[in-house]
Every structure is written in structure tokens, then in C-alpha cells.
């Protein structure tokens, strides 16, 4: 089977949401492939903290005295309590989504969460042909022509994109922006 690692990295996340192929018309003159997904590698991880809480009550003392025979009385009261560090549970991405980069997550998902979709695309020559055609496009007219020429590959390719960006690699590949 032909490797598909470049497949999804070259596809627009917009396809995941809209189930259609759109060109990059943001006029940012990035001159890169319109299907490349940026890999910011920021990890988007968060961490909790811990805190200490200490409270105390100062002991007091009362003394009474009288003239004549001497007697004294003393009462001391007080308490101190301390609560130590609190346990913090941090949750983050799991499975393939815990990979450091979007490309790594995609590669992981091909053998895990998205294996069925990966196999479907891998066993469909039109899915590969569509991917290869889209990799060459720089405008919407080209994209439309690729979709027309390789219509039998659209469903399998979109199924794989959906699985990766909207499920298996939702955090690492910024699925929130596209799903």
C-alpha cells in the first residue's frame, strides 16, 4: 500500500467541516500548498497548581492574683491546623492526540483510531489520485477539476480527513478550528 502520511497533512481542514474542497483564498500570499496544515508544535498543555493553607489560633493565658494568700490560676487554649499541598489532576490529550505534532499524530492514527478509513483510502486508487491531484492545486478551479476527475475517491478521502482532524487528532491538529 502506498504511504499516506502526506495525504492528510496536505488537506484543508475546511474539507473536514464542510465536506467539500475549498482553496486558500485568504490572500496571505503564503505561496505554500493550499492543503498544508500549519504545525505549531505548541503542545497546548496545561498544568494545575498546588497550594498550602495554614491557619492558627494564638494561645492565650489568663492569670488572676489576690492579696493575702497567693494563688494563681492559668488557662491556656489554642489550636493549630495545617492543610498540605492539594492533589491536582491534569488531563490532556490521550492516544495519538498526545503526539507532539500534527504530522506525528496523523502517522499514529493511521495504525490506530483511523485505520479503517486509512485502509479504505489506501485500497481506493481514486482516493490516491484525488490526493495527488489536490497537492498540485493552487486555486479553486483546479480543486473543482480534481474532485470532478476523481469523484470516486472523495468519500474515502473525506472520511480519513474527518477521522484525523475531528476525532483522533482533534487537539494536536487543532480540530476545534475546523470540525
| Per-residue model confidence (pLDDT) at position 179 | 87
- The beta-strand segments (E) located in 96-140 are none
| Per-residue model confidence (pLDDT) at position 109 | 95
The domains of the chain are located at 99-179
For residue 75, the SS3 value is: strand
* C-alpha distances out from residue 139 to 33, 127, 145, 154, Å: 10, 20, 10, 18
| Per-residue model confidence (pLDDT) at position 94 | 76
pLDDT, tens digit, 9 for 90 and up, residues 117-127: 999 999 999 99
Cα–Cα distance measured from residue 59 to residue 61, given in angstroms and rounded to the nearest whole number: 7
pLDDT, tens digit, 9 for 90 and up, residues 127-149: 999 999 999 999 999 999 999 99
**Residue 8: which of 142, 118, 112, 99 has the closest Cα?**
118
Residue carrying C-alpha cell 493550499: 34
For residue 49, the SS3 value is: coil
Cα–Cα distance measured from residue 75 to residue 63, given in angstroms and rounded to the nearest whole number: 8
For residue 73, the SS3 value is: strand
* C-alpha distances out from residue 107 to 8, 14, 33, 37, 158, Å: 10, 20, 20, 14, 17
| Number of helices (H), then strands (E), in the chain | 7, 4
The pTM of the full predicted model, rounded to 2 decimals, is 0.53
| Per-residue model confidence (pLDDT) at position 91 | 58
Instruction: Give Cα 97 distance to the centre of its chain.
Output: 6
**Residue 140: which of 18, 38, 29, 21 has the closest Cα?**
21
Amino acid at each position: 500500500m502506498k504511504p499516506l502520511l502526506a495525504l492528510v497533512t496536505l488537506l484543508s481542514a475546511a474539507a473536514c467541516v464542510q465536506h467539500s474542497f475549498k482553496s486558500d483564498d485568504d490572500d496571505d500570499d503564503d505561496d505554500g500548498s493550499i492543503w498544508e496544515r500549519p504545525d505549531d508544535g505548541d503542545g497546548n498543555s496545561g498544568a494545575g497548581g498546588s497550594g498550602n493553607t495554614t491557619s492558627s489560633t494564638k494561645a492565650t493565658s489568663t492569670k488572676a492574683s489576690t492579696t493575702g494568700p497567693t494563688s494563681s490560676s492559668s488557662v491556656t487554649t489554642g489550636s493549630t491546623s495545617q492543610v498540605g499541598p492539594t492533589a491536582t489532576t491534569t488531563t490532556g490529550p490521550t492516544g495519538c492526540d498526545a503526539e507532539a505534532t500534527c504530522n506525528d499524530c496523523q502517522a499514529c492514527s493511521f495504525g490506530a483510531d483511523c485505520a479503517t478509513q486509512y485502509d479504505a483510502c489506501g485500497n481506493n486508487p481514486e482516493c490516491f489520485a484525488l490526493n495527488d491531484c489536490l497537492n498540485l492545486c493552487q486555486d479553486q478551479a483546479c480543486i473543482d477539476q480534481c474532485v470532478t476527475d476523481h469523484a470516486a475517491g472523495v468519500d474515502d478521502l473525506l472520511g480519513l480527513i474527518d477521522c484525523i482532524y475531528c476525532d483522533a487528532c482533534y487537539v494536536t491538529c487543532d480540530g476545534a478550528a475546523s470540525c
